[in-house]
Amino acid sequence: MMTSNVAVTPTSVPPPDVRTNARPVIPDRVEDLGISRSVVTDLILRYLWLHGSGTLSALHQTLKLSFPVLETLFHQFRQQQLLEVKGMVGNDYSFSLTAGGRTQATARNEVCQYVGPAPVCIQEYQQVVQAQAAQVRLSRESLRQAFVDLVLPDGLLDQLGPSLIGHQSLFLYGGTGNGKTSIAERILRIYQDTVVVPYAVEVDGHIISLYDPVVHRAAPSADEQLDPRWVVCERPCITVGGELSASMLELRLDETTRVFVSPCQMKANNGILIIDDFGRQVLTPRELLNRWIVPLDRRVDYLTLASGMKFQVPFELMVVFSTNLNPRDLADEAFLRRIQTKVMVENVSAEIFDQIFQRVVQNAQAPSEAGCAEYLRERCFAAGAKALRACYPMDIFKLVKAISEYEGRPVRMTKTNIDHAVGLYFAKQDEIATD
């Protein structure tokens, strides 16, 4: 199953309008922010302590708070003699902290150094995530369009479809090199709607950073009423492999800033989390089972602050496990029961193998001798392959391309080149002689 640069039109049905209406609107009162006034005042104090001075426009840009909220707090700060006005910048005030304000800001900065968009409360986050639960309708044809750059048999599509419609956890297993990861990474294409993700979440006075530009792709939005503490994004897709450890599933406290960093499953909410090469992680399958047996079953997770306080967060995501190991060797029946669908990605047939080969050379616009697909199949078996893998055509073509570039001649798929590439690709079967 190989990849090309074919553009794909999303295939899901847009969610009902109620989801858009459920998006948070701009709060114009401090009381409507959902977080305590002290959290907001600390943000302003730290901003002014860090920058030396500021304006309402600058605070609005950084903290994502509305001007009515900022004006209310500005007047409160003046009454408390925490800031002094330096002048005007157009119609805006320019101000800085007083000596008393700097003293208070210094103290607050020692507790937490977060200076960024104001957080949203955990209760609002829970409500919005649940309102954004994925809803799709699929058919074989629409699913085929989502996987248009892969060569997949109808039987495999028909196994995938029901799991994707139900947005349930999915177990992809089978031999290595047959496209499990490629399939998992393209599941996101079935969604065409957007979701909102908060920059940060507040729990019991602590700030948890959530929006991550590395995994959350911001999407254009014309919604002028949306609370700017939220970012409109495509549904996220996060892949973790052998590096997955127990600590990645828990809150991590940055000792320098005293800000908590959200775990990967929280960042993947309303999207997909791919556990690639499952069974080969630092975290053992049994440890993952013990950690996620409740989240997979009830779609809620529990995280713990440094103080020991536990709180609930949604587990509203599709977890896709991809492995070339036997599922029953990895997990017990209790764990497998909570993964609703198990799909075996089988070794490819000769017909599918030839289709993949033809697509590889066509996309590369490389000339090919007649009968090369069949010849490659024969050479793979002769070199020791036990079965045909979907990855062989692309892998062998890459070697043919490298050989051609090294020898300074045009790239061409020939039987001679295939022999050379296969000789490099497969390990020799003969035993290494020893003294």
Length of the chain in residues, anyone? 435
Residue 361 included in any domain: yes
* Residue numbers of the domain that contains 67: 36-116
Residue 383 included in any domain: yes
Count CA atoms within 13 Å of residue 31 on its CB side. 0
Of 271-275, 283-287, 333-337, 369-373, the one with minimum mean pLDDT is 333-337
Whether residue 359 is found in the same domain as residue 265 = no
Per DSSP bridges, beta strands 206-209 and 200-203 are antiparallel
The string of pLDDT tens digits covering residues 363-415 is 999 999 999 999 999 999 999 999 999 999 999 999 999 999 999 999 999 99
Residue that is last in its domain, among 293, 328, 344 = 344
Spatial separation of the C-alpha atoms in residues 210 and 202, rounded to whole Å = 10
Spatial separation of the C-alpha atoms in residues 254 and 11, rounded to whole Å = 40
Percent of all residues in the chain with a pLDDT value above 90, rounded to a whole number = 75
In this structure, what CATH number is given to the domain that contains residue 106?
1.10.10.10
Of 5-9, 98-102, 231-235, 345-349, the one with minimum mean pLDDT is 5-9
Residue 388 included in any domain: yes
User: Residue 142 pLDDT > 50, yes or no?
Assistant: yes
| Lookup: tokens for 392 | 């062989």
User: Residue 172 pLDDT > 50, yes or no?
Assistant: yes
Whether residue 340 is found in the same domain as residue 379 = no
Residue that is last in its domain, among 116, 143, 168 = 116
φ/ψ (deg, to 5) at 138: -135, 150
Residue 5 included in any domain: no
In this structure, what CATH number is given to the domain that contains residue 154?
3.40.50.300
The string of pLDDT tens digits covering residues 189-199 is 999 899 999 99
Residue 429 has a pLDDT of 61
**Which single residue is written with the structure tokens 């959530």?**
210
Spatial separation of the C-alpha atoms in residues 101 and 107, rounded to whole Å = 10
Q: What is the mean pLDDT of the chain?
A: 89
| Lookup: tokens for 116 | 């960024």
Residue 11 included in any domain: no
Alpha-helical (H) ranges within 52-153 are 56-63, 67-79, 99-111, 122-131, 140-146
Whether residue 336 is found in the same domain as residue 356 = no
Whether residue 411 is found in the same domain as residue 366 = yes
Whether residue 102 is found in the same domain as residue 207 = no
Whether residue 300 is found in the same domain as residue 155 = yes
Residue 431 included in any domain: no
Whether residue 183 is found in the same domain as residue 323 = yes
**Greater confidence, 192 or 229?**
229
Residue 326 has a pLDDT of 81
Whether residue 137 is found in the same domain as residue 260 = yes
Whether residue 263 is found in the same domain as residue 168 = yes
- AA letter at 361: V
Overall domain count for the chain:
3
Whether residue 249 is found in the same domain as residue 193 = yes
